[in-house]
Amino acid sequence: MTDSLTRNDLTERLSQILGPRGLTTDGADLAPWLTDWRGRFHGQALAMVAPADTMETAAIVRLASETGTPIVPQGGNSGMVGGATPDAEGRSLLLSTRRMNAIRSIDTAARTVVAEAGVVLQTLHEAVSAHGLRFPLTLGGKGSATVGGLVSTNAGGTQVLRHGTMRALVEGVEAVLPDGSIYDGLATLKKDNRGYDIRHLLVGAEGTLGIVTAATLKLVPALIDRAVVWAGVASPLVARELLLMLEARAGREMEGFEIVPQRCLANVLKHIPGTRSPLEGAHPWHVLVEFGRDDAAATAPQILAEALMAEAFERGLVQDAAISVSESQAEAFWKLRDSISEAERTEGPAMQHDISVPVADMPRFILEAGATVEQRFAGTEVAAFGHMGDGNVHFHVAAPPGADRATWPDHPGKEISAFVHDLVVAAGGSISAEHGIGQMKRDELGRLSDPARLMALRAIKHAFDPKGIMNPGKLVPL
């Protein structure tokens, strides 16, 4: 904010742009949005602005640009890296996309939907489902995560194996750039070579290059039915063999392939009410596989799953397997997977790392890096779970029993994270597979990136946002 403009002047002008519904300055109303949902990051803001449409968003950004006021865009506030939490200075505007929540159009022939930034993922699922279509990305926070946040973080989730991350599903974007101009890239052309790809630059930019106000998203036919398999396996290496077999046999019908170590399942069964193990015996590792069909002529997923599990059993790849016989059982299997983090939090503190390495290297990485970390930090226990088919696991390091919840995450927690990140970089991997960088990993990205990447990140940021008003302090290392 320039000296010539007082706080009151600014809110007065915002009020003229937005009207009473779009502006919140009351501390109690603001409070819930100034802390991330995990409670790890806290900030302050001058006000929360909730524009009704793209034009109002542009007017706010022009005013912010003119006055040098930082803007922090926020969707469902369900991010994992503090990307939507302002800093503590209190000079920022928190820009909520919640009122821009229209589904502008659904094109059933082209199989696309144009959704505004504030549309909640679950609402989107329901809206396109009514047309026999499906938006093939889902994740735990679907009840709060918004289209704008999903685009801006290039979100992943549990269906990436077949359908890719958001980047593969975003066919067009509309955004307000940091100078207040509106980039209209919603029209979808299959081929367009008019210069640098702005769309791919905005996907995953975490609001640091502009505010995504709407997106054209790819849809696929709705699933007719599905079957979820829970299987016990001997090790991540065997799980990988199973994955290769299933890809060869049923690549088009396999919607997800997740790995779960015994420790995670045990925590879930212990802490989450109403859960029970799908298998009778104990197994060191588990996989969850989802098969689905969108074509009535294809083999029914149930039958496909039974045949494939029989073959996998004969080949010694699975120790035991249960196949869901109803939707509620399918959901119960998924609940085991989706409750891992919640159960872990009940158990005690843990350092969480969202990492990827080349897909083929992941089984060995899980085993070797896990052993290395447990050896280096006595008493810790590593649990790596998640999207093994994407070369992406959540590599969690649980504190020794009795560790202090308040202090352990800082010390030795941060040291553990740096150690894990070093192992990931040595394996040619990424310290952020799907959660993004935000404020949580910014310094680590700076520490671990080569100079050419850092140069490029900083140059792009400065080019788009020379005044540094767009989500400052996020993503780009200083």
- The binder of a copy of itself chosen from 55, 88, 187, 307 (CB under 8 A): 187
> Which residue from 411, 374, 379 is spatially nearest to 395, judged by alpha carbons?
374
Contacts with 205 (C-beta within 8 Å, 6 or more apart), sequence order: 152, 475
Q: Which stretch in 16-24, 119-127, 332-340, 385-393 sits in contact with a copy of itself by CB under 8 A? A: 385-393
Measured CA to CA, the distance from residue 312 to residue 329 in angstroms comes to 22
Q: Residue 189, interface with a copy of itself (CB under 8 A)? A: yes
Residue position matching structure tokens 């995670």: 264
Beta-carbon neighbour count of residue 241 at 10 Å?
Answer: 17
- The binder of a copy of itself chosen from 323, 464, 469, 470 (CB under 8 A): 464
282, two tokens: 């104990």
Q: With the CA atoms of 460, 461, 462 and 467 taken in that order, what torsion angle do they form, in degrees rounded to the nearest 10?
A: 150
Q: Residue 445, interface with a copy of itself (CB under 8 A)? A: yes
Q: How many residues does the chain have?
A: 478
Let me know: does 89 contact 204? Beta carbons within 8 Å.
Answer: no
Element (H, E) at 413: helix 413-426
Beta-carbon neighbour count of residue 19 at 10 Å?
Answer: 11
Q: Residue 201, interface with a copy of itself (CB under 8 A)? A: yes
Nearer to a copy of itself, 76 or 438 (CB): 438
Nearer to a copy of itself, 22 or 236 (CB): 236
Q: Please report, as residue ranges, which positions from 149 to 168 form the binding site for a copy of itself (by CB under 8 A).
A: 153-154, 156, 160, 165, 167
Q: Which stretch in 335-343, 365-373, 376-384, 442-450 sits in contact with a copy of itself by CB under 8 A? A: 442-450
Q: Residue 312, interface with a copy of itself (CB under 8 A)? A: no
Let me know: does 52 contact 99? Beta carbons within 8 Å.
Answer: yes
Element (H, E) at 27: helix 27-30
Q: Which stretch in 127-135, 198-206, 312-320, 407-415 sits in contact with a copy of itself by CB under 8 A? A: 198-206
Query: Closest separation between CB of residue 279 and a copy of itself, Å?
Result: 29
String marking each residue 396-435 x if it binds a copy of itself according to CB under 8 A = --------------------------------xxxxxxxx
Q: Residue 390, interface with a copy of itself (CB under 8 A)? A: yes
**184 DSSP β-pair partners:** 174
- The binder of a copy of itself chosen from 89, 197, 404, 410 (CB under 8 A): 197
Asked if omega into 221 is within 30° of 0 (cis), the reply is no
| Chain positions contacting a copy of itself, by CB under 8 A | 109-110, 153-154, 156, 160, 165, 167, 177, 179, 181-185, 187-198, 200-201, 203-205, 209, 356-360, 387, 390-392, 428-437, 445, 449-453, 455-457, 459-464, 475-476
